[in-house]
């Protein structure tokens, strides 16, 4: 590195050497770090009155980072969670530089004094069984696109996959037996950090997917758009939202919910929990790193809470007869 005080070379090393090669972070995380720095650099350059390519590492001061974060919330209208994501990227960059340049350790420590903001915890949104059934019934099964859409919605509900995970599934990742009702079927899903997991598939899902992928090679993506190109996560989001809007005209309860592929993922987890599956099974099914994440579903399910409450409900005791009306007692007293 020619000039270790310049910020630009450090950012290139951070994104290419650290994020991609050393950490092998998920693509979405890579994009999140990149986007955070794309927003940060012009903001710092404007305050330091320098071109972006002449910024020094120390130009990214703690005060300027605080101003940048405030700007995200106040001017761009970003949520606290988004603000914290941007700050996480800045902290990661500072730590990367501090470990490799001892003279910048103090600067790194100053940036780490900028705290994450506590965000209000929102309840997980999921669909009731009737709502999920209505969503699955929304596509027109008489058309090729409708059958593909139905297979996609069913797959999301069955596997509980994220939109990006679903978009990346290839035909070779599927294990589809000849007799779905008898033999075990599954799909290999690559989650965050490219961590693989296998999810079982229902016989109905197998039948839908078998029809969808017929006469195609194992390297092809399972879900394709109208032009025969792999469906993107954005396309999957748009598809789910379109059918949710259609169902909302029939079920008023759906109109109150913001339905996305992640909502279906939450629905899968909640319905698995209601069916009696233990938390660790659901954690493995969804690919959660920590069981604490999966425990959220146990907290939001009102139906399960009501059932648990019913088991410890204090029942009304039968009214006891006044002692004067207790003939056995009166007879006992007379014999004394």
Angstrom CA distances, 140 to 113, 149, 163, stand at 55, 9, 22
Residues in the chain: 336
Q: How many CA atoms lie within 13 A of 30 on its CB side?
A: 17
Per the residue annotation, which of 265, 271, 283, 288 is the catalytic one? 265
Per the residue annotation, which of 23, 91, 192, 233 is the catalytic one? 192
Per the residue annotation, which of 64, 86, 162, 190 is the catalytic one? 162
Rounded Cα distance between 68 and 194, Å, is 32
Tokens of 296: 């959220």
Let me know if 198 is a catalytic residue. no
DSSP 239: H
**Rounded to an integer, what is the distance from CA 271 to the centroid of its chain?**
16
E-strand ranges in 30-163 read none
Phi, psi values for residue 6, rounded to 5°: -75, 140
- With contact defined as beta carbons under 8 Å apart, do 294 and 269 qualify? yes
Per the residue annotation, which of 170, 221, 262, 288 is the catalytic one? 262
Taking phi over 0 as left and psi of -120 to 50 as alpha, with beta for the rest, 215 belongs to left
- With contact defined as beta carbons under 8 Å apart, do 157 and 243 qualify? no
- Closest to 221 in 3D by CA, of 149, 169, 173, 174: 169
Let me know if 262 is a catalytic residue. yes
H/E segment holding residue 263: helix 261-274
- With contact defined as beta carbons under 8 Å apart, do 40 and 68 qualify? yes
Catalytic residue annotation? 162, 192, 262, 265
């Amino acid at each position: 590195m020619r000039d270790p005080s310049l910020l630009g070379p450090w950012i290139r090393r951070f994104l290419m050497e650290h994020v991609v090669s050393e950490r092998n972070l998920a693509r979405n995380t890579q994009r999140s770090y990149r986007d955070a720095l794309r927003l940060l650099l012009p903001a710092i350059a404007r305050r330091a009155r320098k071109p972006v390519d002449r910024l020094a590492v120390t130009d990214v001061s703690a005060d300027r980072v605080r101003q940048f974060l405030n700007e995200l919330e106040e001017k761009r209208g970003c949520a606290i969670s988004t603000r914290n994501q941007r700050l996480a990227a800045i902290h990661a960059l500072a730590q990367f530089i501090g470990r490799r340049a001892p003279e910048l350790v103090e600067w790194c420590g100053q940036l780490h004094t900028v705290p994450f903001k506590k965000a209000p915890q929102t309840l997980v949104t999921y669909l009731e069984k009737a709502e999920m059934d209505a969503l699955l019934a929304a596509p027109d099964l008489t058309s090729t696109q409708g059958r593909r859409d139905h297979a996609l919605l069913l797959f999301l509900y069955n596997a509980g996959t994220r939109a990006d995970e679903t978009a990346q599934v290839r035909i070779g990742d599927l294990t589809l037996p000849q007799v779905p009702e008898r033999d075990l079927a599954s799909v290999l899903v690559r989650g965050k950090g490219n961590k693989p997991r296998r999810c079982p598939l229902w016989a109905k899902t197998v039948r839908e997917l078998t029809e969808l992928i017929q006469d195609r090679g194992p390297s092809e993506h399972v879900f394709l758009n109208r032009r025969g190109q792999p469906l993107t996560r954005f396309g999957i989001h748009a598809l789910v939202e379109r059918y949710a809007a259609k169902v909302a005209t029939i079920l008023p309860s759906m109109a109150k919910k913001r339905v996305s592929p992640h909502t279906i993922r939450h629905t899968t987890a909640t319905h698995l929990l209601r069916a009696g599956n233990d938390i660790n099974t659901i954690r493995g099914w969804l690919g959660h790193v920590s069981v604490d994440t999966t425990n959220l579903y146990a907290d939001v399910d009102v139906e399960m809470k009501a059932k648990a409450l019913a088991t410890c409900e204090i029942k009304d005791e039968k009214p006891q007869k006044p002692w004067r009306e207790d003939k056995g007692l009166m007879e006992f007293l007379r014999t004394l």
